Amino acid sequence: MRDGVGLWTPDALPARMTTPPPNLLARLAPSADESVDRLLDDWWILQLRRGHRFSTDDLVCGWCAAAARPDATRLLDLGSGVGSVGLYTLGLLRRRGQDHASLIGVEAQAVSHGLARRSVEANGLGAVVSMRHGDLRSLDAVVDPAERFDLITGSPPYFPEGTALPSPHPQRAACRMELRGSVLDYAAAAAPRLAPGGRFVFVMTARDPRTEQAPADAGLAVLDRLDVVFRRGEDPMVAVLTCARREDAPEGGRHARTLVIREADGALSQDYRAIRVALGFGDAAR
């Protein structure tokens, strides 16, 4: 799970949406170094105040994943971090009537895994969400090798070691830098675990050639690419790719789209506001 580079954070939401219910706060019992932030609907997530925090990248990835397979019931989130991408996807599917959908999240970093497990338990999701502590490059050690999934998500770290300054915070460093594999490893882990008709949806930097190389090397076809522009007129910073097994790729080729987060004047775009409304954040334009 990598550090988000988006503009949206829970702190940017109206104050009335950032106050967790007292009973949930009691269950989570956050320390002074932890915050509890709203994910969607009445789901709240635990994060480190100065560590890795979820952002627009995670939200858009989950949005695209739920749209790619709205009928999915078996979900796998690779490099699940604090749980944001997988929980966004699951929550959106359940909103669409997939009450029997279940999620497995796999995360190698102990701190992030521990936060995710506490969030799952506090939100009463233990019956449908299983957070596993393990390395996605050794997936068979934590997920039954025979198990296949309708929908697999991933948010790889964006930067190879040596290409960016690593964060002094170990959790943020592992989210940002490729300390435990790259997008190539994510695609290689996802491909053999896709059920027939399954989809692999991941978010990665838009300009990295490995964003397109990874699914191709894993034997997957890219069905849709959504480039995310954080302010109109700028180049895309990240892209969300929806992939399928080559034998499952429908005719008609791939689609290419663009999502603008903010207009040139800083206001949220109409498209992004619509996503926020669908996630239960209201129609605030800030």
pLDDT class for 250, splitting at 50, 70, 90? confident
Question: Is there a domain that residue 2 lies in?
Answer: no
pLDDT of 222: 97
Average pLDDT over residues 24-33: 91
**Beta strands 149-154 and 34-40, pairing class:** unpaired
Task: Give residue-wise pLDDT tens across range 59-84.
Answer: 999 999 999 999 999 999 999 999 99
pLDDT class for 253, splitting at 50, 70, 90? confident
pLDDT of 243: 98
pLDDT of 13: 38
Quick one: which of 211, 224, 214 has its CA closest to 257? Answer: 224
pLDDT of 161: 61
Quick one: which of 229, 226, 227, 283 has its CA closest to 261? Answer: 229
Residues across the chain: 286
* Integer angstrom CA distances of residue 215 from 126, 131, 153, 171, 241: 32, 25, 13, 27, 9
pLDDT class for 3, splitting at 50, 70, 90? very low
Question: Is there a domain that residue 208 lies in?
Answer: yes
Contacts of 22 (CB under 8 A, 6+ apart): none
Question: Is there a domain that residue 3 lies in?
Answer: no
Contacts of 180 (CB under 8 A, 6+ apart): 79, 108, 109, 135, 136, 137, 174
CATH assignment of the domain containing 198: 3.40.50.150
pLDDT of 277: 82
Please indicate whether residue 164 or residue 96 has the higher confidence score (pLDDT): 96
pLDDT class for 270, splitting at 50, 70, 90? very high
Identify the domain containing residue 92 by its residue range: 10-278
Question: Is there a domain that residue 284 lies in?
Answer: no
pLDDT at 166 exceeding the cut of 70: no
How many structural domains compose the chain?
1
Q: Where are the alpha helices (DSSP H) in the chain?
A: 22-28, 56-68, 84-95, 110-122, 170-176, 183-190, 210-217, 270-278
* Structural contact between residues 82 and 47, judged by C-beta atoms closer than 8 angstroms: yes
CA 176 – CA 170 distance, rounded (Å): 10
Question: Is there a domain that residue 33 lies in?
Answer: yes
Bridge partners of 224, per DSSP, are 242, 255
Average pLDDT over residues 116-144: 96
Task: Give residue-wise pLDDT tens across range 42-55.
Answer: 899 999 998 888 88
pLDDT of 53: 87
What's the pTM? 0.89
Question: Is there a domain that residue 118 lies in?
Answer: yes
Question: Is there a domain that residue 198 lies in?
Answer: yes
Q: If you average pLDDT over every residue of the chain, what do you get?
A: 87
Question: Is there a domain that residue 174 lies in?
Answer: yes
pLDDT class for 180, splitting at 50, 70, 90? low
* Integer angstrom CA distances of residue 239 from 174, 207, 225, 242, 257: 20, 9, 7, 10, 10
CA 29 – CA 187 distance, rounded (Å): 36
Task: Give residue-wise pLDDT tens across range 105-128.
Answer: 999 999 999 999 999 999 999 999
